[in-house]
Amino acid sequence: MNPVEIKDLPGLIGTEVGVSDWLLVDQDRVNKFADATGDHQWIHIDVERATREIGGPIAHGYLTLSLIPFLSQGMLPVKGVTRGINYGSDKVRFINMVRVGKRVRLRQKLIGAEPKAGGMQLKNECTIEIEGETKPACIAETMSIVYGG
C-alpha cells in the first residue's frame, strides 16, 4: 500500500491494508515466550508429553496475539507520523490452536479511524491465519493512535 496522509485514514475504513509474510512458530519461540511470561504449561513446552497426549505442542494463545505488531509492520504506511502507541484490543478470540512447526501470517483490515488525543485512533481487525488450515488462530480488534508533526 502507498503511504497515506493521517487525514485520509478515515477514507480507508473497510479496506484490507495488508497480508504479512508467513512466520514459522517453532519450539524455541514458544519456550522463550513461556520463560518471558512464566506460563510453562506442558501443552506448550513438554514436547514428548504434548506429542503423546494432544498430537504435539501448541503455541500460547497470547504468543499468537503478541505477533500482531511484528507481522503488521509496514502494512499501512502513514506520512508524517512522529510516533504511534498501542491503545488496546477488543474482542480477542483464539479460534484455533497453532501447533509448533506451523506457519502463521496476519491479514489486517482497517475498521475505524477517528481523531483522538491530538492524533488519529486506528482500529484494525487482525486475523492470524495458519498455513493449510481453514480456521484462523486468532481474530482480534486492535487499537492504536498515530501522531503527526
pLDDT tens, residue by residue, 100-125: 999 999 999 999 999 998 999 999 99
**What pTM does this model have?**
0.94
Give yes or no for residue 34 having a pLDDT over 90. Answer: yes
For 40-72, what is each residue's pLDDT tens digit?
999 999 999 999 999 999 999 999 999 999 999
3-state DSSP assignment of residue 88:
strand
For 5-23, what is each residue's pLDDT tens digit?
999 999 999 999 999 999 9
**Could you tell me the fold of the domain covering 4-24+60-148?**
Thiol Ester Dehydrase; Chain A (3.10.129)
Side-chain half-sphere CA neighbours of 66 within 13 A: 13
Given this model, what pLDDT does residue 79 score?
A: 93
Task: For the chain, give the mean pLDDT.
Answer: 96
C-alpha cell at 4: 497515506
Given this model, what pLDDT does residue 26 score?
A: 98
> How far apart are the C-alpha atoms of 5 and 21, rounded to whole Å?
25
What mean pLDDT do residues 65-92 have? 94
**Beta bridge pairs of residue 120:** 115, 146
> How far apart are the C-alpha atoms of 124 and 121, rounded to whole Å?
10
> How far apart are the C-alpha atoms of 105 and 114, rounded to whole Å?
27
Give yes or no for residue 95 having a pLDDT over 90. Answer: yes
Domain boundaries, the chain: 4-24+60-148
> How far apart are the C-alpha atoms of 145 and 79, rounded to whole Å?
14
Give yes or no for residue 126 having a pLDDT over 90. Answer: yes
